[in-house]
Structure 1
Amino acid sequence: MSPMQPSDFERHGFAAGMREGFVAFLPVSVGLIPWALVVGMAMTSAGFTPLQAMGMNIIVFAGTAQLGTLPLIVDNAPLWLIVTTGLALNLRFLIFSAGIAPGFRGIGTGWRWLCGHLLTDGSFAVCYDKLMQVDNPRWRLGFYLVTGVWTWLLWQTFTLAGIFAAGIVPKSWSLEFMATIALIVLLVPMAKARPMLVAAIVGGGSAVLLRSMPLRLGVVTAICLGIAAGFAAEHWQEKKTA
């Protein structure tokens, strides 16, 4: 058996994983900036103080759930509905975490808890293939962790900027549209997997068809239908290949 070459050490070290993860994730992370600005401005427009807005931003750390529950909070909707909506909007992370879990083989429980908190759409899209391909757990941890920490820092920084820029940035800049484009960029690579594509089509179509439901329950229902369709497609795919 030949000795390990220096290039092998570099590739499989924690620091090397962080370097490669940062380079891979950097183009995707640019899309977080308008999204975070929109969330910050939306929370301010909803009447949140800067302290309340940043408190929600740190605790929830989920832009879709934050924006999805803001109208309910403003309308003084029941607490159970606000919580249920936030949980429903984040149900996709059950699929993400189940899918990416094998990539954390050999990594301690404490690190897994931290990585779970840092899991985002972008981290899943960028890290999934690499975490399945590389054996060394230190390299995998470094690759994933840098994407999560960088996302957290960008999110907190530019949400704070959005909070204080709410009365300054012109509405004609259409940052909401830019944020939507950023989400689509994340969706495209994930939709290459058939279950993800089925979930996106069913969930998106249902959201349009059910948009007239009261208390925005159409969105919650659409999310549940999309997730159910994704699980069904995955089960059918596994059964077909067995």
Structure 2
Amino acid sequence: MSDAFRKGARAGWADFLPMSVGLIPWAVVTGIAMRSIGLSPVEAMGMNLIVYAGTAQLGTLPLIATGAPLWLIFVTALVLNLRFVIFSAAIAPAFHDHHWARRVSASYLLVDGVFAVGADKMLGAREPEWRWGYFIAPSVWCWCLWQVFVLVGVLGAEIVPRDWSLEFMVTIALMLLMIPMARTRPMLLAAVAGGLGAVLLRDLPLRLGLFAGIAIGIASGFVAEHWQTRRAER
């Protein structure tokens, strides 16, 4: 490990540490939710290792529980994870001088929090090893934290009282990630329109209201950004 890598790792871990606290209840609730639909501990942890995406896991669990078609489960997970295409494209320049294995491992470990906290610093740094250390240290920390506390939820699912309604903590954790991203009007409009659309259309069959809400949010954000750009050019 070079000195630049160690410095980057320390900086990345220190920047991400406060946000990582919010992963703990989210991970526990995810573990409990997987057990609540009938998955065995082995199946739940297997899904957790392969998917490693809390939003996609929680979003597909109701479909798995109701025996929905495999294609619908796959498409739902794909749609819920579309944001990672944008995230990875945004930070790709920070990895252009790294070898293939590093880029593959980075794609698996990329999470919302690490992107939100470190994207600007990674893209602004010139030293490749510093960038890699800054990304990989909080990413590995996040992965370990997630696996450990999902396991806590999986093993403790029978102990936690049902009336605690811990699922609301997942919503709170997602809101904490979303709020910093909604600093511009197009992003805020996309979030509000998408959320309202998903709520109003929640009774559509096969959870298609979720897809409709995502489409409404994307379209609203695109239109708002286009209108804002044209207004600025005048």
TM-score (norm 1): 0.87
Bigger shift: residues 24-33 or 173-182: 173-182
| Aligned partner of 1:189 among 168, 180, 190 | 180
Aligned residue number for residue 5 of structure 1 = none
| Aligned partner of 2:73 among 82, 102, 110 | 82
Bigger shift: residues 169-178 or 82-91: 169-178
3-state SS of paired residue (1:135): coil
Shift of 1:153: 0.5
Aligned residue number for residue 37 of structure 2 = 46
AA at the equivalent of 1:186: L
Closer, same or farther: CA 222–138 of 1 in aligned 2, 3 Å: same
Shift of 1:203: 1.9
Structure 1 residue 59 corresponds to structure 2 residue 16 = no
Aligned residue number for residue 142 of structure 2 = 151
Structure 1 residue 176 corresponds to structure 2 residue 167 = yes
Closer, same or farther: CA 153–234 of 1 in aligned 2, 3 Å: farther
| Aligned partner of 2:116 among 121, 125, 133 | 125
Distance in structure 1 (CA, Å) of the matches to 2:85 and 2:226 = 16
Distance in structure 2 (CA, Å) of the matches to 1:230 and 1:159 = 34
Shift of 1:151: 1.1
AA at the equivalent of 1:86: A
Distance in structure 1 (CA, Å) of the matches to 2:6 and 2:230 = 40
Shift of 1:229: 4.2
Aligned residue number for residue 12 of structure 2 = 21
Shift of 1:178: 2.1
Summarize the alignment of residues 202-241 of structure 1 with structure 2, pairs less than 5 Å apart: 202-230=193-221
Contact 1:31-1:179 at 8 Å conserved across structures: no
3-state SS of paired residue (1:138): helix
Closer, same or farther: CA 99–195 of 1 in aligned 2, 3 Å: farther
Structure 1 residue 105 corresponds to structure 2 residue 96 = yes
What are the superposed Cα offsets for residues 67-123 of structure 1, whole Å, 9 maximum, x if unpaired? 111111111111111111111111111121222222323222221111111111111
Contact 1:122-1:186 at 8 Å conserved across structures: yes
AA at the equivalent of 1:106: D
Closer, same or farther: CA 16–230 of 1 in aligned 2, 3 Å: farther
Distance in structure 1 (CA, Å) of the matches to 2:218 and 2:104 = 23
What are the superposed Cα offsets for residues 153-191 of structure 1, whole Å, 9 maximum, x if unpaired? 111100011001111112344322222212211111122
AA at the equivalent of 1:180: T
AA at the equivalent of 2:30: V
TM-score (norm 2): 0.90
Distance in structure 2 (CA, Å) of the matches to 1:230 and 1:14 = 38
Distance in structure 1 (CA, Å) of the matches to 2:8 and 2:160 = 38
What are the superposed Cα offsets for residues 121-153 of structure 1, whole Å, 9 maximum, x if unpaired? 111111111112211111111111112111111
Aligned residues: 232
Shift of 1:213: 0.9
AA at the equivalent of 1:191: A
Structure 2 segments unaligned to the other structure (5+ residues)? none
Distance in structure 2 (CA, Å) of the matches to 1:90 and 1:141 = 23
Aligned residue number for residue 165 of structure 1 = 156
Shift of 1:237: 6.3
